[in-house]
Amino acid sequence: GMSLAFTQCMMEKEEEVVEYQEPRLILFDCDGTLIDTFELIQESTKKVFDTLLPNYKYTQEEIYAIFGPLLDESFRKYTDDEELIKKCIDLYRQVNNEMHEKYVHAYDGIKEILHHLQEEGYYIVIVSNKVTEAVEYGLKISGIDEYIDYVMGAEQLPSPKPNPEGIYIMMEKYGVKKALLVGDTKFDIECANNVKTKYKKFKSVGVTWCQTSEAEFKELNADYIINHPSELKEILKYYDE
């Protein structure tokens, strides 16, 4: 009688404790999601055009187009001179480094939401197709590095997003079966959709403050779409479902 009830009571208590301590993981893309590097990319690109392709009259649209693909592909559209392509890439990287501090900042509301997540005990992880060192530099300049628990950059990913392998590694590292991936491009949403094949409860959050519109996110089947970082608070109910 007595000892059985006591044991049962202890077991219930233990269960409660375990349930309460389940870790909560939230994954973010970096550029275009947490930090605004758009102006930086724009200014760096203009400088390359003006210096190395001075006769070429570029449009604003073309400057935008550099935002996604690899530099090599971007500049190859304008010349097939391998030497010049290499010069363009080298100059772009040099200028990009020099202008970093002037042009890079966290989007409005990002610091506040990261602070909130940290206070609530979330593990905040970045998964980026950019190398770790470059991501960490951007976070530092933007003044949000203190909120990030782990940065998984390009050289740590078995394959770049939308390949889900990097996310699997993080899910295992933190011992979770569900998480949110917050990102600004179709690659982030496609990546989340790939993760769902292994983790059914995984969900994606598309953010519209960079370049992708609400309509585009709907077409990609994003689970949630937000227009301001503060709207993420509402979505956190997901972790209690």
| Residues facing residue 126 across a β-bridge | 28, 151
CA distance 127 to 153: 6
Give the H/E segment covering residue 11: helix 2-20
Rounded to whole angstroms, the Cα distance separating 169 from 128 reads: 14
CA–CA gap between residue 30 and residue 155 (Å, rounded): 15
* The predicted structure's pLDDT at residue 105: 95
CA torsion 70→101→61→53, rounded to 10°? Answer: -70
The residues that bridge with 35 in the sheet, in sequence order, are 31, 106
Which H, E and C letters describe 116-174, residue by residue?
A: HHHHCCCEEEEECCCCHHHHHHHHHHHCCHHHCCEEECHHHCCCCCCCCHHHHHHHHHH
- Which residue from 218, 227, 221 is spatially nearest to 203, judged by alpha carbons? 221
Would you state the pLDDT for residue 68? 57
List the chain pLDDT tens, one digit each, 241 residues.
Answer: 555 555 555 555 555 555 556 899 999 999 999 999 888 888 988 999 899 989 888 888 887 776 555 677 788 888 899 999 999 989 988 998 899 889 999 999 999 999 999 999 999 999 998 889 989 999 999 999 999 999 999 999 999 999 999 999 999 999 999 999 999 999 999 999 999 999 999 999 999 999 899 999 999 999 999 999 999 999 999 999 8
DSSP run (H or E) holding 71: helix 71-76
pTM: 0.79
Alpha carbon distance 23, 117 (integer Å): 12
Interatomic CA distance for residues 35 and 111, integer angstroms: 10
Closest CA to 56 of 77, 73, 39: 77
Residue 95's pLDDT is what? 92
